Amino acid sequence: MKNKLYEIILLFFTASWGLSFLLTKDVLRELSIFNFLGLRFLLAFLCSGVIFFKSMKSLDMKTIKSSILAGSVLFLSFAFQTIGVDYSSASKVAFITGLSVVLVPIFSSMIFKEKLSKSVWLGAILACMGLAMMTIEGMSFKLQLGDLAALIGAVSFAIYMILVEHHTKKVNSINFAVLQLGIVAAMSLIISALSGGIEFPKETSSWVGLSILAIVCTSGAYIAQNILQRYISASKTALIYSTEPIFAGFFGVVIWHETMSTMAIIGAVLIFSGMICTEIMGETVKN
């Protein structure tokens, strides 16, 4: 029963991630990519640090090392995903990011020497076909900058999920999660400072969006992910995450009035089908 509650909480934060694509696109009208990421994760880090101050006082070197590794991969994931959102539609980037669900078991099998079921391979084929259809322009396959960045981000997110499942069971999960936010903030702000300086939003709407992204979609979501993955497997976590592009597509149509071509819609359905096929029908079998 308690595990079901954990899954519902994770689903709530997954819905907030779906909304985050739209909020990100809105804030990027005023801030540069790394400036935006730096402020988002700095606010999230400060918020989380205050809430879990007592826990953070017991920070140890093992947690720091694990956080640096996972935080660096998380930084790459968000950097490429945000570039994708800036150069493409939020809905499209959300579905491409969803490929990480298909990649998790494939990467896990490579790392942990497990044999993949036919369903996982079928899911991968469906997802690849979907990616191709989402990036077709006219009658030619053309991977735009935003699509390519989102794809690299998806690969990074898959690696990140595996790292979290591996490390969160060995260290204090709260400290592990909070410190990662600080690492992403520091890396983003350094790049922003070196590439033009750090600015603050002037519009109220940008502050509102940035606050929601920092407190709900980042601080709350990533702490929840790192804590709840103690009780939910990486595969089930990935299945819950598979609903993220659905939420993003819904919010994109209702709030941002985004539209998708027929080919892109078919591609989105194929990617989602691949995600479901991989996580519901697929399983890994140890050699």
DSSP string for residues in the chain: -HHHHHHHHHHHHHHHHHHHHHHHHHHTTTS-HHHHHHHHHHHHHHHHHHHTHHHHTT--HHHHHHHHHHHHHHHHHHHHHHHHHHHS-HHHHHHHHTHHHHHHHHHHHHHHTEEEPHHHHHHHHHHHHHHHHHTEETTEE---HHHHHHHHHHHHHHHHHHHHHHHTTTS-HHHHHHHHHHHHHHHHHHHHHHTT------SHHHHHHHHHIIIIIIIIHHHHHHHHTTTS-HHHHHHHHTTHHHHHHHHHHHTS-----HHHHHHHHHHHHHHHIIIII--EEE-
Per-residue pLDDT of 103-114, as tens digits, reads: 888 888 888 777
Burial class (CB in 10 A: 0-12, 13-18, 19+), 9: middle
- Contact between 98 and 244 under an 8 Å Cβ cutoff? The reply is yes
245-279 pLDDT per residue, tens: 888 888 887 877 777 778 888 888 888 888 878 76
Task: State residue 127's pLDDT score.
Answer: 85
Q: Are 3 and 232 in contact (CB under 8 A)?
A: yes
**Can you give the pTM of this predicted structure?**
0.83
Confidence (pLDDT) at 234: 64
Residue 196 is predicted with a pLDDT of: 85
Which stretches of the chain score pLDDT less than 50?
284-287
pLDDT at 286: 41
Residue 137: the pLDDT is 57
